[in-house]
Amino acid sequence: MSFPFQRDSPQLQRERMVRTQLADRGIRDLRVLDAMRKVPRHEFVPESFRQDAYEDHPLPIGEGQTISQPYIVAAMLKHLALQANERILEIGTGSGYVTALLSLLCAEVYSVERHAQLAASAESTLHRLEYRNVKIRVGDGGQGWAEYAPFDAILVSAATPEMPPALFAQLRDGGRMIVPVGPPSIQELQLIYKVSGRPEVKILEGCRFVPLVEGAVDSG
Ligand code: SAH
């Protein structure tokens, strides 16, 4: 028996999120749906927003940043079609939520965040939840992470007026990058393949991300 003031378990809330926000809106990729069913999104949001963790919108995570809406995360992951043996670069670790999903979907995850405090908090959450195949660095993600390049895929979680050339350079030939391109107010998601060293761009749906800002910061 349940009382009106009792919430469903996080597991049940996740099941419902996957069904109503993702599957019913056309996300069919079983690996993506399975990962979204597993990762405890509520562990990646601040205590004060926990009750909204599985709602259909982004939430504040501090430093003026947000954890992305579940649907746009699933859409980006679906378009990347990651394989279990691949290495991925993520730009904009934020809460570490997408990092955790990537950790389940591929072999190695490298993630760059410009806010030292967000990076530290994401790192500790990921460690506590035992996502082990992940490395996080504080820095300017627009420069990528040359030391571990080339990557099979790159996921950029912040909006940029143009696709950053340094990131494209760190993609292996035949690899792909997903990135929100456009002004701060509204962007389009672009899926960019590297074919014989050249970009082939596929324009996907509209989206809205916080901006990719140059340079790293030590604290907010
Ligand atoms: N995937 C994250 C999204 C966080 S929002 C999540 O779901 O929690 C985007 C993040 O990109 C913010 O944390 C912001 O600080 C970071 N960011 C912005 N510009 C950046 C840059 N140049 N390099 C690295 N990270 C950047």
Query: Is residue 33 within 6 Å of ligand 1 at its C-beta?
Result: no
Residue numbers annotated as active site: 68
Q: Which atom of ligand 1 is nearest to the CA of 66?
A: 5
CA–CA dist 117, 124 (Å, integer): 11
**Interval 32-50: pLDDT, tens:** 999 999 999 999 999 999 9
Per residue in 57-78, pLDDT tens?
999 999 999 999 999 999 999 9
| Domain layout of the chain by residue ranges | 10-207
Residue with tokens 């993702």: 22
Mean pLDDT of 120-133: 98
- The answer, yes or no, to whether any atom of ligand 1 lies below 6 A from the CB of 160, is no
Q: What's the pLDDT score for residue 214?
A: 86
Taking residues 76-99, report their average pLDDT.
Answer: 98
Ligand 1 centre and the CA of 164: distance in Å? 15
Residue type, 132: R
Atom of ligand 1 nearest to the CA of 94: 13
Quick check: 124 pLDDT over 70?
A: yes
Cα–Cα distance, 105 to 102 (Å, whole number): 5
Residues 193-217 have pLDDT tens digits of 999 999 999 999 999 999 999 877 7
166 ligand 1 Cβ < 6 A? no
DSSP 35-73: HHHHS-GGGGS-GGGGGGTTSSS-EEEETTEEEPPHHHH
Q: What is the pLDDT of residue 220?
A: 42
Q: Is the CB of 70 under 6 A from ligand 1?
A: no
Average pLDDT of the segment spanning 177-183: 97
- At residue 7 the predicted structure's pLDDT band, cuts being 50, 70 and 90, is confident
Mean pLDDT of 175-190: 96
Determine whether the shortest distance from the Cβ of 76 to ligand 1 is under 6 A: no
Ligand 1 centroid to residue 100 C-alpha, Å? 15
Residue 2 scores a pLDDT above 70: no
Which CATH architecture describes the domain 10-207? 3-Layer(aba) Sandwich (3.40)
Per 3-state DSSP, the chain is made up of helix, strand and coil in percentages (nearest 5) of 35, 30, 35
pLDDT > 80? residue 6: no
- Mean per-residue pLDDT over the chain, rounded: 95
Q: How far is the CA of 36 from the centre of ligand 1 (A)?
A: 20
- Output the pLDDT for position 219: 54
pLDDT tens by residue, 130-169: 999 999 999 999 999 999 999 999 999 999 999 999 999 9
